[in-house]
Copies of this chain bind each other. A is one copy, B any other.
């Protein structure tokens, strides 16, 4: 973890972490990990996401090379998104994070209740 302080590029490190921690990134990668999808399919598939936030999230992922964007010269326009091999490798790492949360979520929820009970009254 000390690379968080000594890394070549702590700013890059942090920007990646906050990307992972943001509201939609992992969800989008997870959905795209199953199969390539077009814009509206993603909107329909991901409950609660707005077109704006989907655009913002996809642009960021594309910029980092985690997702690729393919435009087909058709009318009406068709655009498909797909995770890259790099994105897939991130997904694999994120999955272990997801497993950790799944495994410990009840313990953590319990800690929170205890802490709140001990602090609030």
Please report A residues at the B interface, Cβ cutoff 8 Å: 1-5, 7-9, 12-14, 16-23, 26-27, 29-31, 33-34, 46-47, 62-65, 86, 89-91, 93-98, 100-102, 104-105, 107-112, 115-116
Copy number of this protein in the oligomer?
2
Flag if A109 contacts B14 (CB, 8 Å).
no
* Distance in angstroms between the alpha carbons of A91 and B46 in the assembled complex: 30
Minimum CB distance partner of A112 in chain B: B63
* Distance in angstroms between the alpha carbons of A64 and B101 in the assembled complex: 12
Contacts A1-B91, A5-B46 aside, 9 further interface pairs with beta carbons under 8 A come to A1-B31, A1-B94, A3-B98, A3-B101, A12-B101, A17-B97, A63-B112, A65-B108, A93-B96
